[in-house]
Chain A
């Protein structure tokens, strides 16, 4: 009798698990254009168990469902994002049983990885400049973190050296209108900056 009850209980549990889904939300860096968004979607679609994939380009957020029975781990999610050419910032999941798990990915550079931390000089004036500079840097693939200091006129970046280079970051920031200590912004872009953002240029 006990055996029958155990079998029924196991079957019920298995059926319940198979009907449940885990809902993942992944914040991703470097999702600049539809080519990137569709690419990320494509890489996740190649995992046949994954469904209901949505990519929010503006917010850099990917959401999808996967059957709870797959027991998908964060390491697997990180690898999928990485294989797609992007850097995950955070992953959260609401499991089928209601539990919630969250992880800020690589919040500190891993010494064993290709992550590098560098500080470059970037000119700017205000909070708008800060938003623009950090957005430009964060738009570079492989960037994990970018923080600009108005006081120091420096941009601290953490990036994957296998995916990008410090030169690419200089170029991206300059393209947004801010001179770096290596690359000068195009005059036309600088001239179009908001009046309060027009920092004093160094010849």
Chain B
């Protein structure tokens, strides 16, 4: 009997932390003085960050000490970034455009529908999704057609100012900012699969990241990052040295968090 209770206790304990006993722990702050950071992506080979500096209307490259090494280009309120297959995508919120940056080449992608303040883009093969902030919808298309969906509201499949989209494993994850939650859809048929985080007290879910280990969401007003399993179970809340986060990205055992409030990037390690 006691062995059964002990086994149950151990199982509960293990299931409460990501990857067994590993937890995310704060490691360092990378200062970004004068940078109104919104979007964040990481170039692992060069150990550099791309940062969209919304306040100063520019896209910059920053090293691991926070020094701006390249002022890439001026954009009108650049927002979330996505780095896929060595191509960087940028949502230009103030100009209603999506920009593709491939080396020196920089082009505006034609969209099947006109967005009003696009806040994020992500790409999965030939499929593209854009968070259309003011129209409370997701513009979704591929070479076969336009599958845009969503209206303003707080029911499943409705949005209240979506701010970021991410594809992962045939699913589309949406940071539904002012419904304070994440919605998950089948990226093929757009059916609503799951809603995550509704009861966790988030206030403005401004950014998210998804990989095989879980879902990471920025809780802007509460200065937190919430980490979920793919079942939607909350496994850890990060609060230390996080100030008005807008974006979160992961590389191997490192989590980088963009702090709009403190103008910095926080680095967390899985230990």
Contacts and interface: CB of A to CB of B under 8 A. Distances in A.
Interface string B185-228: 00000000000000011111010000000000000111000000
B222 A175 contact: yes
Contact of B201 (A33, A45, A139, A185): A185
The DSSP consensus for interface residues of chain B is loop
B267 to A, nearest CB: 22
Nearest to B54: A34
Contacts of A41: 77, 94
B206 A186 contact: no
A129 interface: no
Contacts of B38: 34
B119 interface: yes
Interface stretch (A18-26, A64-72, A100-108, A166-174): A166-174
A42 B94 contact: yes
Nearest to B95: A42
Nearest to A45: B94
A175 B224 CA distance: 12
B134 interface: yes
B64 interface: no
Nearest to B78: A38
A33 B154 contact: no
A195 B163 CA distance: 35
A20 B163 CA distance: 39
Nearest to A84: B134
B260 A34 contact: yes
Contacts of A171: 180, 201
A33 B77 contact: no
Contact of A168 (B154, B161, B163, B244): B154
Given A45-B94, A174-B201, A175-B180, A33 B220 contact: yes
Interface in A86-143: 136, 139, 141
Contacts of B134: 39, 85
B255 to A, nearest CB: 19
A38 B220 contact: no
B226 to A, nearest CB: 10
Given A39-B133, A168-B154, A175-B180, A33 B93 contact: no
A33 B237 contact: no
A171 B161 CA distance: 17
B30 interface: no
B36 interface: yes
B161 A85 contact: yes
Contacts of B180: 171, 175
B199 to A, nearest CB: 8
A35 B206 contact: yes
Interface in B217-271: 220-222, 237, 244, 246, 260
A128 B152 CA distance: 34
Contacts of B203: 32, 136, 139, 172, 175-176
Given A38-B94, A85-B161, A174-B201, A33 B244 contact: yes
Nearest to B36: A34
A83 B177 CA distance: 18
Contacts of A34: 36, 38, 54-55, 246, 260
B178 interface: yes
Contacts of A165: 154
B139 interface: no
Given A85-B161, A175-B201, 13 more contacts: A32-B204, A32-B221, A33-B220, A33-B260, A35-B163, A35-B177, A38-B54, A38-B94, A139-B203, A141-B178, A165-B154, A171-B201, A176-B222
28 contacts: A32-B203, A32-B204, A32-B220, A32-B221, A33-B244, A33-B246, A35-B79, A35-B93, A35-B119, A35-B133, A35-B163, A38-B94, A38-B117, A39-B117, A39-B133, A39-B134, A41-B94, A42-B77, A42-B93, A42-B117, A45-B94, A85-B161, A139-B203, A139-B221, A171-B180, A171-B201, A172-B203, A188-B237
Interface of A: 32-35, 38-39, 41-42, 45, 85, 136, 139, 141, 165, 168, 171-172, 174-176, 185-186, 188-189
Nearest first, the 7 closest Cβ-Cβ pairs linking A and B are A175-B201, A186-B201, A38-B77, A175-B203, A33-B220, A34-B54, A33-B204
